[in-house]
Structure 1
Amino acid sequence: MAVPKKKTSRSKRNIRRKSWERKITKQVLLALSLGRVFNSKASGSFVFPPSFDFKS
């Protein structure tokens, strides 16, 4: 017969949640930084296709 697991404490839950949020924040900051580079048109290290529209 199945036995219910013990309840996870608030502190453990918060630690896991903060860890997940830190990973998400890091990815968001990376995406924003990359977006700023594309938007600046001054990037020489990226190769854009000829049909790439900077205005959109």
Structure 2
Amino acid sequence: MSIPSRSLLVVGFTTLIYLGFFVSNIILAGKTLHAAIPPVPVPSLKSSAVTAACTARSM
């Protein structure tokens, strides 16, 4: 293995470590926010479409 390919291997491995650390922090921040602030209910598109279809059939 030549020196440039070794350095690229080290840089690639280090990049993966930093990306993993960043993703881990984002996930932990999301969990913390979820615990601190109650989630906001968002109606799903699927349930709205089913409700609209059932309403249309009953008319």
TM-score w.r.t. structure 2 length? 0.51
CA shift, 1:32, in A, is 0.3
Which protein, 1 or 2, shows the higher relative CO under an 8 Å CA cutoff with sep ≥ 6?
Answer: 1
CA shift, 1:23, in A, is 1.0
**Corresponding letter in the other structure for 2:27:** L
* Aligned with 1:25 (options 6, 20, 23): 20
Structure 1, unaligned runs of 5 or more: 1-6
Alignment of 1:1-56 (within 5 A): 9-40=4-35, 43=36, 54-55=39-40
CA shift, 1:8, in A, is 6.0
TM-score w.r.t. structure 1 length? 0.53
Question: Larger C-alpha radius of gyration, 1 or 2?
Answer: 2
The 4+ residue runs of structure 1 with deviation greater than 3 A are none
Q: Percent identity?
A: 5
CA shift, 1:17, in A, is 0.4
| Distance of 2:3 and 2:34 partners within structure 1 | 45
**Corresponding letter in the other structure for 1:37:** T
* Number of aligned residues: 40
